[in-house]
Structure 1
Amino acid sequence: MSKDSSVVVFDFDLTLTRWDTAERFFRWMLRRDPWRLALVLAGLPVLGPLLLIRATRKWPIRFAVWVATLGRTPEALAALAEEYIRSLPMGHASVFLPAAIQQLQAHLARGDQVVIATGCVEALAQTLLRHAGLSHVPLVASTLRPFLGGLVRDQHCFGPNKIPMLSARGFAPPWATAYTDHRADIPVLRLSSERYLVSPTPKCVAHIERALGIKATILAWR
């Protein structure tokens, strides 16, 4: 193992959290402005069928994000994340899984280097972690860039792209431990000595076990 062998990589959505945080955030942004929601609905006849195919699903999602962010800057997005968290019945406590946070803090207490790598948009993930008192934990997340008056994907911290993004931040593999709920993180799991799946579906477990040739260790946090 390298000098980075004590690095522990946590996924974010559905690993540390109860739900897909970016999805709910952007839906909230669309609903609060009826014209934005109407614009997305107007595009459904063309974009809706693309949601049924894994390879094309990203395009209607990107369109919805662009509509949700029309006329907004990255700074405005951070302010909206604050407003969104305040709108939740229990604030950030509604979002995080207590068992997951306890495990993350246990790693920190042991002196492990913990990093969170997530496809969630950076502004939202940063704000949620700050509210949870975890702003000191390094975060590698997806970023957005301006495009035609809105914001679109820049770097997507998802699947195999997590590896170069983590490496660029000083967390190159191999890693000691990885936690995730999703088979998209197989590239990260493959480069980790210990691997934990958080409340995965049976299909996800079967896929990961076939890909890695191991028996999965499951944590029932959700």
Structure 2
Amino acid sequence: MSVAGPRYPAAKADAPLVVFDFDHTLYDGDSGSHLIRWMIRRSTWRMLLALLIAPVAGPMIAWLPTRRRGIGAFIWVGTIGFRRRRDLDELIDRYVAANTEAIRARLLPVALDVLHRHREAGDRVVVATGAPPELARAILAFVAHEDVPVVGTQVGRRFGAVIATRHCHHAMKMRMLREAGFVGEVAAAYSDSTADLPLLQAARRPVVVNPKRDSVDLFRRLLPPGTPILNWGCRDRGGEGTATTAR
């Protein structure tokens, strides 16, 4: 899915590398959960199966070592019967097209303005997300008209469905960025999550946006003094409110 958007100067190979998380950073909420919920609600039997596995798979998502398996279990419920990995990409495109207005309402204008400014400056901008990359890519292209590269959780066909096989999360996010060719110093990184501390700590300029309120103190302890901790429009999140960019 691609939609023409603004024209930006081409980023040079040695341009500053800028990394954005997606959920609770550019998008107000957990985009992957919204997608999975929609996939499961397509049929009654999928909803019943999700309820059956929820007592086991739900708590797994909250614990880092088992997070990928927990998410994968619900993706499995939503994709049973898929014969190709790209079937999920096609379903994601259908989801985004069917929910454009609701998705647009969740994109954060201040965040998109920051992203625009980096692109206008010729920076190398990439989105790194725990969601399937086609989801962030489709939302940004079809809804926000942004054609930025996306690195995200890898999926594959297993057990008669499509499930997460490699979760773009915590230290793995940094590894997957490097494997995708985004090498060199991270000039700036934007994220809400303590799971992205490896990314934020690697950045010359880390910016915390829309953090959970109970994680603010942890960010202040583990990131350099003066690190911006901002709220870009997530009402249920912490950070200082701002109507301007953090650049």
Query: Please, what TM-score do these two structures have when normalized by structure 2?
Result: 0.81
1:134 maps onto 2:146 in alignment: yes
Distance in 1 (CA, whole Å) between partners of 2:153 and 2:63 is 23
Counterparts in 2 of 1:67-86, with a 5 A limit?
Answer: 67-72=77-82, 73-86=84-97
Aligned partner (choices 195, 211, 218) of residue 200 of structure 1: 211
1:5 Cα offset (Å): 6.4
Distance in 2 (CA, whole Å) between partners of 1:122 and 1:105 is 20
The answer as to whether partners of 1:88 and 1:94 remain within 8 angstroms in 2 is no
Distance in 2 (CA, whole Å) between partners of 1:46 and 1:20 is 20
C-alpha offsets along residues 55-109 of structure 1, whole Å, 9 cap, x if unaligned? Answer: 4455443211111111123322222212222332615412311111111011111
Report the count of equivalent residues. 219
Aligned partner (choices 130, 134, 137) of residue 123 of structure 1: 134
Counterparts in 2 of 1:58-73, with a 5 A limit?
Answer: 58-72=68-82, 73=84
Q: 1:63 to 1:19 in 2, by over 3 A?
A: same
Residue in structure 2 matched with residue 42 of structure 1 by the alignment: 52
Residue in structure 2 matched with residue 16 of structure 1 by the alignment: 26
Runs of 5+ consecutive residues of structure 1 not aligned to the other structure: none
Distance in 1 (CA, whole Å) between partners of 2:113 and 2:181 is 25
Cα RMSD after superposing both structures? 2.1
> SS at the partner of 1:64?
helix
Distance in 2 (CA, whole Å) between partners of 1:6 and 1:47 is 40
State the identity %: 35
Which segment is superposed worse, 85-94 or 60-69? 85-94
1:172 maps onto 2:189 in alignment: no
Distance in 2 (CA, whole Å) between partners of 1:128 and 1:200 is 22
The answer as to whether partners of 2:68 and 2:166 remain within 8 angstroms in 1 is no
Residue in structure 1 matched with residue 117 of structure 2 by the alignment: 106
The answer as to whether partners of 1:4 and 1:174 remain within 8 angstroms in 2 is no
Which segment is superposed worse, 24-33 or 195-204? 195-204
Distance in 1 (CA, whole Å) between partners of 2:160 and 2:18 is 38
Structure 1 residue identity aligned to 2:146: L
1:94 maps onto 2:94 in alignment: no
Runs of 5+ consecutive residues of structure 2 not aligned to the other structure: 1-12, 234-247
C-alpha offsets along residues 129-173 of structure 1, whole Å, 9 cap, x if unaligned? Answer: 2112112x1111111011011112122111111111111122124
Which segment is superposed worse, 54-63 or 138-147? 54-63
1:10 Cα offset (Å): 0.5
Q: 1:7 to 1:127 in 2, by over 3 A?
A: same
1:47 Cα offset (Å): 4.4
